[in-house]
């Protein structure tokens, strides 16, 4: 017996979301609906789950700028993030940070225009190109809103993780370029001119990139997007590069011309550490890794449901910045189909409330074995090689 989604909801193929908290509802999930639990209690959802709770979000440029400086929060009852809203928040973060990076690059371009510095020109072009790495992630967030199809039955959320792979490669490329340039300047030192201007341009680049990095990382962690966090780390590596320019120029002013390439090598090492963290996060997402505390929350939620006698199997995985779960629960073998289904629906409902960013869960009900009878005997030869039959703590 398996329950997935609320009754009278279209299935995955037709709607793209099986969850009763469908992020794609036209009304923004701002309607009241009641749920009867297996233990007879009734839980009513009013407007707590939606965003139509009496405040409007400003749109356009004013809204984008306001969202940077204004802390946005909802009532604690709104514990289930709307998947659609988090996608919009991710896109909004990319838009704002892209504008900020472009302003930074244009400011450096102005310095280049008045100084004619070839080195600064190269750094400015580098910043322009790196700002555009937000575009693939932007596309991924937009793709993630598309409904599932008969070919892509889980939807397009994985596009976000693929964009994360691209970003990791860009961070690696930044490390290679920074290392190459530093070694080249050690072997063939070049005189540094317009030192004051170089310092000013480097500070502009470092400040702009670090502000963008902080913003992207904060939003990425808030909505559970490893790819957006990786993009923030990418911006941070660009800030490191600009900071290397500043320290190198200060070294030249202090009478130590080799400071520029030596600082560059140090920044290369720092970028490698950033690369390791970003690559680890993206790799774990691609391998369906999940934070143990989320599994703990799911297990606690299931175990406290009335009628559940044990957790037979539990799997949780990220797809983009959304979570999906599969659970098998043990129940009294003497209950009927209707009561067993009610328990499955109750477990599903509890999971949606208790596990942050969970948008869907499939709950399978199995009778508790009390007489030495294996109710899954027909599957034994498959189960012997089935990976991940349960969960362990590592």
Instruction: Return the pLDDT at 183.
Output: 87
Let me know if residue 163 belongs to a domain. yes
- Residue 239 maps to a domain: yes
Q: Are 230 and 278 in contact (CB under 8 A)?
A: yes
Confirm whether 26 is domain-assigned. Answer: no
Asked whether 268 and 175 are in contact (CB, 8 A), the reply is yes
Predicted confidence at residue 343, as pLDDT, reads 95
pTM above 0.95, yes or no: no
Q: How far apart are the C-alpha atoms of 141 and 119, rounded to whole Å?
A: 35
CA atoms within 13 A on the CB side of 67: 22
What is the model's pLDDT at position 148? 86
- pLDDT mean values, one per 10 residues, the chain (394 residues): 44 36 38 42 40 42 39 35 68 85 82 62 67 82 86 89 89 84 80 75 86 90 88 86 80 78 82 90 91 94 94 92 92 92 95 91 89 67 56 52
CATH of the domain at 110: 1.20.1510.10
Instruction: Give me the helix-helix angle, 118-131 and 83-115, nearest 10°.
Output: 170
Q: How far is CA 194 from CA 122, 199, 302, in A?
A: 15, 9, 66
Per-residue pLDDT, 258: 79
pLDDT at position 56, please?
Answer: 45
The pLDDT score that the predictor gives to residue 315 is: 94
pLDDT of 345 reads 95
Is position 250 within any domain?
Answer: yes
Distance CA 206, CA 210 (A): 6
| Chosen domain end from 287, 302, 331 | 287
pLDDT of residue 115: 59
Same domain, 315 and 342: yes
- DSSP for 239-261 reads HHHHHHHHHHHHHHHTT-TTHHH
pLDDT (0 to 100) of residue 116: 58
- Whether 246 is covered by a domain: the verdict is yes
Q: Which of 272, 287, 302 is the last residue of a domain?
A: 287
Residue 197: per-residue pLDDT = 77
299: domain range? 292-372
Instruction: Transcribe 260-299 into DSSP letters.
Output: HHHHHHHHHHHHHHHHHHHHHHHHHHHTT---HHHHHHHH
Whether residues 265 and 297 fall in one domain: no
């Amino acid at each position: 017996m398996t329950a997935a989604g609320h009754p009278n909801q279209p299935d995955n193929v037709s709607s793209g979301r099986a969850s009763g908290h469908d992020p794609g509802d036209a009304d923004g999930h701002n309607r009241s609906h009641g749920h009867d639990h297996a233990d007879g209690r009734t839980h009513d959802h009013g407007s707590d789950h939606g965003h139509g709770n009496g405040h409007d979000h400003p749109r356009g440029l004013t809204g984008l700028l306001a969202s940077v400086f204004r802390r946005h929060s909802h009532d604690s009852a709104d514990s289930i993030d709307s998947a659609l809203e988090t996608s919009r928040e991710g896109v909004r973060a990319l838009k704002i940070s892209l504008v900020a990076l472009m302003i930074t690059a244009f400011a450096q371009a102005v310095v280049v225009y008045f100084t004619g510095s070839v080195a600064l020109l190269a750094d400015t072009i580098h910043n322009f190109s790196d700002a555009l790495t937000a575009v693939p992630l932007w596309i991924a967030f937009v793709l993630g809103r598309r409904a599932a199809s008969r070919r892509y039955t889980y939807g397009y959320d994985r596009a976000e993780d693929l964009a994360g792979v691209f970003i990791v490669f860009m961070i690696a490329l930044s490390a290679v370029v920074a290392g190459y340039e530093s070694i080249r300047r050690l072997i063939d030192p070049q005189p540094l001119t317009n030192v004051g201007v170089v310092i000013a341009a480097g500070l502009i680049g470092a400040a702009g990139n670090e502000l963008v990095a902080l913003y992207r990382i904060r939003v990425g962690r808030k909505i559970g997007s490893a790819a957006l966090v990786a993009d923030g780390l990418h911006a941070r590596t660009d800030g490191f590069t600009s900071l290397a320019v500043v320290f190198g120029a200060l070294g030249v002013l202090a009478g130590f011309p080799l400071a520029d390439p030596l600082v560059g090598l140090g920044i290369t090492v720092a970028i490698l550490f950033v690369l390791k963290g970003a690559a680890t996060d993206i790799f774990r997402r691609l391998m369906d890794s999940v934070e143990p505390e989320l599994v703990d929350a799911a297990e606690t939620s299931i175990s406290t449901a009335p009628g559940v006698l044990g957790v037979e199997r539990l799997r949780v995985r990220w797809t983009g910045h959304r979570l999906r779960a599969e659970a098998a629960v043990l129940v009294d073998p003497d209950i009927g189909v209707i009561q067993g289904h009610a328990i499955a629906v109750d477990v599903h409902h509890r999971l949606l409330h208790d596990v942050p960013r969970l948008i869907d869960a499939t709950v399978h009900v199995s009778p508790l074995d009390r007489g030495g009878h294996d109710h899954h005997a027909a599957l034994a030869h498959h189960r012997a090689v089935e990976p991940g039959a349960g969960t362990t703590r590592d």
